[in-house]
Amino acid sequence: MNSRDIKDDKYYIEKIKELKEKRRAIILAHNYQRPEIQDLADLVGDSLDLSKKAQASDVETIVFCGVQFMAESAAILSPEKTVLLPVKEAGCQLADMATVQELRKKKEENPEATVVCYVNSSAQVKAESDIGCTSANGVEIVNSLKEDKILFVPDEHLGRYVASKTKKDVILWKGFCPAHYNLLPKDILRTEEEHPEAKVLVHPECRLAVIQLADEAFSTSGMLNYVKESEAKEFIIGTEMGLIHRLKKENPEKNFYVPSENLICPSMKLITLKEVAQSLEKMRYKIEIPEEVRKKAKKSLDRMLEV
């Protein structure tokens, strides 16, 4: 980064601090955000942490540095607060792979199935589902249900991983996260050869063949907890590379290796300090969800949070 950029950073950080007071705002950042956004945020976390913390925070405005569905989850849980997504194009390709029309059709074809919906989905899709789940609690949620037939949307790979850990009959949806999907078994094998002592941690959105090569499959917060507790000194991290910043910051004595250059989510990188400052200044872009959809979507998230 050149000195001009650092000067800009300082300017925007001061501006954000000032505007945050004025707007009574909290800044939340997902673990995949740019380092400077993570460092600026009041809270950094995974999708489950952030949805719960957004609900509990006593503020008027939530600035959600993440992608659309995450900001929507905050708006579903906190209707009395204004939720802002600093860049309106910050969508999630996985979430966009399930529309409410397609889901209704699939439900008609499988009327006996209980719909479990990964939080990486639109508010409308959540509203059409019976219960939500995150990558951290998918197995627990599915096992908590008395029904045996499950329609799991929209991530085929997380669904397959969950199915491998339960005795339920799981119908899979053809959706995937491009960043995790592009991580291949050969990438893990090559990086393991280069770092034979390293523990391999991957996200459950990866292909099952990749998960089977790993020591553990975890959500982003699961990885952070595991690394903190582990006696190992080296780790191969099979998830979006934004997580490396926090891993290094919290474990300066440990080493982390990225097994593929493809482990990057372009949407997560759209949010910059300038965009956050402008978001607070102009109060944009507000997440608006029709009340009827919000109430139904909240039911499925509340059911998840109860479990």
Q: Closest by alpha carbon to 214, among 181, 197, 177, 189? A: 189
Closer of 24 and 249 to ligand 13P (Cβ): 249
Of the listed pieces 10-18, 129-137, 165-173, 193-201, which binds ligand 13P according to CB under 6 A?
129-137
Kindly report whether the peptide bond that precedes residue 154 is cis, defined as omega within 30 degrees of 0.
Answer: yes
Closer of 203 and 294 to ligand 13P (Cβ): 203
Count of chain residues binding ligand 13P (CB under 6 A): 12
SS (H, E, C) 249-260: HHCCCCEEECCC
Helix axes 243-250, 220-229, angle to 10 degrees: 20
For 119-139, give the DSSP string: SSS-HHHHHTSSEEE-TTTHH
Closer of 124 and 134 to ligand 13P (Cβ): 134
Among 38, 61, 114, 120, contact with ligand 13P (rule: CB under 6 A)? 120
Which residue in this structure is represented by tokens 């393991």? 192
Closer of 66 and 86 to ligand 13P (Cβ): 66
Of the listed pieces 12-20, 40-48, 183-191, 293-301, which binds ligand 13P according to CB under 6 A?
40-48
> What is the nearest approach in angstroms of ligand 13P to the Cβ of residue 118?
9
Q: Is 300 in the site for ligand 13P (CB under 6 A)?
A: no
Closer of 84 and 268 to ligand 13P (Cβ): 268
Provide the mask over 166-205, with x wherever binding to ligand 13P is found by CB under 6 A and - wherever it is not: -----------x---------------------------x
Q: What angle do CA 20, 23, 28 make, to 5 degrees?
A: 50
Q: Cα(5)–Cα(7) distance, rounded to whole angstroms?
A: 5
Of the listed pieces 83-91, 130-138, 189-197, 250-258, which binds ligand 13P according to CB under 6 A?
130-138
Q: What angle do CA 256, 260, 262 make, to 5 degrees?
A: 125
Provide the mask over 205-234, with x wherever binding to ligand 13P is found by CB under 6 A and - wherever it is not: x-------------xx--------------
**Token digits for 146?**
């008395």
Alpha helices in 195-272 (DSSP H): 208-211, 220-229, 243-250
> What is the nearest approach in angstroms of ligand 13P to the Cβ of residue 30?
6
Give whole-number Cα distances, 230 to 70, 188, 208, 251, in Å: 29, 20, 24, 11
Closer of 12 and 138 to ligand 13P (Cβ): 138
Q: Who's near 29: CB < 8 A, 6+ residues apart? A: 37, 38, 40, 41, 43, 44, 45, 65, 66
Binding residues for ligand 13P (CB under 6 A): 31, 46-48, 120, 134-136, 177, 205, 219-220
